A and B are shown apart, each in its own frame.
Chain A
Amino acid sequence: DTEVTQTPKHLVMGMTNKKSLKCEQHMGHRAMYWYKQKAKKPPELMFVYSYEKLSINESVPSRFSPECPNSSLLNLHLHALQPEDSALYLCASSRGQADGEKLFFGSGTQLSVL
């Protein structure tokens, strides 16, 4: 199994809603990542978890709250988002967080905030 699975594929939410994005991998990878990709732009790193501990937070607003319940799962909890948060949210994993560990990406969740 070489897949990173993200659910849901599409999500529409209002600015007062609370929702969660989910990501799962069964490759035994110990590093997991959230990236945000706006339309026609490159992906930008949001968070990195290594061995289930948050190791990088790229100054992301607190309305985005990551969680790594175990080594296979990564969640992104969303609350009080703004329309400008609409984007493709990509999850990735790698064997470890050392330099050169290849990232494997999921297909993403396309989020629209109304």
Chain B
Amino acid sequence: GEDVEQSLFLSVREGDSSVINCTYTDSSSTYLYWYKQEPGAGLQLLTYIFSNMDMKQDQRLTVLLNKKDKHLSLRIADTQTGDSAIYFCAAQLNGGYNKLIFGAGTRLAVHP
């Protein structure tokens, strides 16, 4: 089955760029997502990318997809303290059931 892996922790200085990485195993995954979770809250959809795209940009967020290596990254430009949260990568299993497999989450800590 699909397996999604992420590094567990990232610390950056305010104003710098953050890059969160994710790898997945099922090359047939057609949609890949990034969700943000703040303490005690649900998951907020940040962005997604379709598997036939290499890059998607949305304001401060840039998603890069290397389909050959099954590697996905999320770059946050000008990282702010409000960006401190856990970021989940999720891959959609093929099959028409819209089932997402989540990575373990990367905790992003932004310090002054």
| CB-based contact A100/B50 at 8 Å | yes
The interface residues of chain A lying within 8 Å CB-to-CB of B92 are 99-100
| CB-based contact B42/A45 at 8 Å | no
Q: Which of under 10, 10 to 19, 20 to 34, or 35 or more describes the interface residues of B?
A: 20 to 34
> Given A105-B44, A107-B42, A99–B94 Cβ distance below 8 Å?
yes
| CB-based contact B41/A99 at 8 Å | no
With CB as the reference atom, state the residue of chain B lying closest to A90.
B42
| CB-based contact A42/B97 at 8 Å | no
Which residues of chain A from 81 to 114 have a CB within 8 Å of any chain B CB? 90, 92, 94, 96-108, 110
The segment out of B11-19, B61-69, B75-83, B99-107 that lies at the interface is: B99-107
Which one of A44, A102, A105 contacts B42 once the chains associate, using CB atoms below 8 Å?
A105
| CB-based contact A43/B97 at 8 Å | no
Chain B interface (Cβ within 8 Å of chain A)?
30-31, 33, 35, 40-45, 48, 50, 88, 92, 94-100, 102-105
Closest 10 CB pairs of A and B: A42-B102, A105-B42, A105-B43, A107-B42, A97-B98, A100-B31, A108-B42, A106-B42, A101-B98, A107-B41
